């Protein structure tokens, strides 16, 4: 009981300090960490990304590391998706395992990469500017042209990568806590930026069927420093809060899960970049529903920030396969496939 009181006191103090200071963080770079908000795992994404209060899943190192606390087996999980044809590739790999024999702690390693490959850099092509009066090194006057030489085109990749080292601990039958050290890297050609940040999470089992969860991503603000030009970006904190209601039902020996999450950001997004806005604060809501039949076949759906998500999955022995469809009015639909194995 003393541990609970101490922990909640620390968390309340942290939340108050954070909420007071975060809206004034005008140095935050809008959308600097957008690739980190895309989510991982076909199951979670098929449920609209409402997953912060769920448990027993390797992908929780991303959604809420506190959920790792009750994890009692090793799991390797993978996911791949493509957008705009095969132009943008998004990949995830995660591994989790118990930290010791107590059954109360687990660790996980997660790697996420968003990449656009084969981008042509044409800086080395020869620019012909016959007229000396308009010669300025740019293709902007009549009679100027570029000599197309394939041998002088440099092909590069644009990638955004995050590596998580996570730990979750179940303090008792009700309270679990966790955290992640996150290393972030962005690169395009010879330019790159590096930084690190922290995620802090908790889960509370309020009743036999209801779990409350919270995860503060980039809790101390993640600062990225570019290797050239002295530029920097900062990823402001995001508070993910949610609830999960899970109940076994006699009908076809099934289980239903209903979840609800709210993402709160403080980087001054407008209505085009978020569902609801109030000054520098913005909100996105996520709803999820899953019906699991005999621990083998599942169907899922739920809106994510107003866009439809749906999916399905099945389990064969220790293997799990999940599919998620994610709709978007402006950016097109996305199909994501993931798989995992427990051993």
SS (H, E, C) 209-250: CEEEEEEEECCCCEEEEECCCCCEEEECCEEEEEEEEEEEEC
30: in domain: yes
Instruction: Assign residue 70 the CATH number of its domain.
Output: 2.40.160.60
What span, in angstroms and rounded, lies between the C-alpha atoms of 342 and 96?
10
Mean pLDDT score of the chain: 87
26: in domain: yes
| Long-range contacts of residues 142-145, Cβ cutoff 8 Å, at least 24 apart | none
pLDDT bin (cut points 50, 70, 90) of residue 159 is very high
Q: Poorest-confidence range of 28-32, 94-98, 287-291, 302-306? A: 28-32
Mean pLDDT along residues 213-237: 91
Q: What is the pTM of this model?
A: 0.84
What span, in angstroms and rounded, lies between the C-alpha atoms of 105 and 99?
5
pLDDT, tens only, 70-113: 777 899 999 998 876 677 899 999 999 999 888 889 999 999 99
φ/ψ bin of 134: left (φ > 0), alpha (ψ from -120 to 50), beta (otherwise): alpha
pLDDT bin (cut points 50, 70, 90) of residue 4 is low
- Does the pLDDT of residue 244 top 80, yes or no? yes
91: in domain: yes
Quickly tell me which residue has 């389990």 as its tokens.
315
What span, in angstroms and rounded, lies between the C-alpha atoms of 196 and 219?
11
Mean pLDDT along residues 276-293: 93
| CB-based contact 139:128 (threshold 8 Å) | no
What is the predicted pLDDT for the residue at 330?
A: 63
88: in domain: yes
- Does the pLDDT of residue 25 top 90, yes or no? no
What is the predicted pLDDT for the residue at 105?
A: 93
**Which helix (H) or strand (E) covers residue 13, if one does?**
helix 2-21
Mean pLDDT along residues 309-324: 95
178: in domain: yes
Q: Poorest-confidence range of 13-27, 231-245, 271-285? A: 13-27
Total tally of structural domains belonging to the chain: 1
| CB-based contact 18:12 (threshold 8 Å) | no
Sequence-ordered list of residues with C-beta below 8 angstroms from that of 311, at least 6 positions apart, any chain:
42, 43, 45, 46, 47, 299, 300, 301, 322, 323, 324, 325
| CB-based contact 326:300 (threshold 8 Å) | no
What is the predicted pLDDT for the residue at 327?
A: 81
What is the predicted pLDDT for the residue at 108?
A: 96
The percent of residues in the chain predicted with pLDDT above 90, rounded, is 57
3-class DSSP state of 85: coil
Alpha-carbon dihedral angle through residues 162, 163, 167, 168, given to the nearest 10 degrees: 40
What is the predicted pLDDT for the residue at 10?
A: 47
Mean pLDDT along residues 185-214: 94
Q: Which of these, 30, 41, 101, lies nearest to 309 by C-alpha position?
A: 41
pLDDT bin (cut points 50, 70, 90) of residue 123 is confident
The percent of residues in the chain predicted with pLDDT above 70, rounded, is 90
126: in domain: no
What span, in angstroms and rounded, lies between the C-alpha atoms of 316 and 73?
16
pLDDT bin (cut points 50, 70, 90) of residue 253 is confident
- Does the pLDDT of residue 16 top 50, yes or no? no
- Does the pLDDT of residue 163 top 70, yes or no? yes
319: in domain: yes
Distances (CA, A) of 62 to 39, 139, 232, 267: 8, 46, 24, 21
What is the predicted pLDDT for the residue at 42?
A: 95
Q: What is the residue range of 70's domain?
A: 2-117+161-342
Mean pLDDT along residues 290-304: 93
Q: Residue 261 gets which letter from DSSP? A: E
Range of 19-23, 152-156, 275-279, 316-320 with top mean pLDDT = 316-320
pLDDT top residue among 2 and 168: 168
- Does the pLDDT of residue 134 top 70, yes or no? yes
Q: Residue 62 gets which letter from DSSP? A: H
238: in domain: yes
Q: Poorest-confidence range of 30-34, 84-88, 199-203, 290-294? A: 84-88
State the number of CA atoms in the 13 A half-sphere of 328 facing the CB: 14
Cβ burial, residue 101 (10 Å; 0-12/13-18/19+): exposed
| CB-based contact 307:301 (threshold 8 Å) | no
Evaluated on CA atoms 286, 65, 42, 82, the torsion sign reads positive
């Amino acid at each position: 009981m003393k541990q609970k009181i101490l922990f909640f006191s620390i968390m309340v103090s942290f939340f108050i300090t954070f909420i007071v200071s975060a809206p004034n963080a005008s140095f935050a770079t809008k959308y600097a960490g957008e690739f980190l908000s895309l989510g991982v795992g076909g199951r979670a994404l098929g449920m609209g990304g409402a997953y912060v209060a769920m448990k027993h899943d390797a992908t929780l190192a991303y959604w809420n590391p506190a959920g790792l606390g009750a994890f009692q087996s090793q799991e390797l999980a993978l996911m791949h998706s493509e957008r705009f044809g095969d132009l943008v590739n998004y990949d995830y790999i995660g591994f989790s395992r118990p930290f010791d024999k107590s059954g109360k702690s687990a660790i996980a390693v997660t790697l996420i990469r968003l990449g656009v490959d084969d981008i042509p850099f044409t800086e080395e092509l020869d620019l012909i500017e016959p007229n000396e009066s308009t010669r300025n090194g740019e293709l902007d006057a009549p009679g100027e042209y570029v000599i197309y030489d394939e041998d002088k085109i440099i092909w590069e990749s644009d990638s955004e990568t995050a590596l998580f080292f996570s730990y979750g601990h179940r303090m008792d039958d009700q309270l679990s806590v966790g955290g992640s050290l996150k290393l972030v890297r962005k690169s395009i050609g010879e330019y790159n930026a590096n930084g690190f940040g922290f995620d802090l999470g908790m889960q509370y089992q309020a009743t036999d069927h209801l779990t409350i969860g919270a995860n503060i991503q980039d809790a101390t603000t993640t600062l990225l420093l570019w290797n050239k030009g002295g530029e920097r970006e900062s990823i402001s904190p995001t508070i993910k809060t949610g609830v999960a209601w899970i109940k076994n039902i006699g009908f076809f020996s099934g289980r239903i899960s209903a979840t609800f999450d709210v993402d709160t950001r403080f980087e001054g997004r407008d209505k085009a970049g978020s569902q609801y806005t109030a000054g520098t604060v913005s909100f996105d809501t996520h709803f999820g529903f899953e019906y699991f039949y005999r621990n083998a076949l599942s169907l899922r759906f739920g809106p994510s920030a107003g866009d439809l998500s749906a999916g399905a999955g099945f389990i064969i022995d220790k293997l799990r396969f999940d599919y998620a469809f994610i709709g978007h009015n402006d950016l097109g639909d996305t199909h994501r496939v993931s798989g995992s194995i427990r051993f």
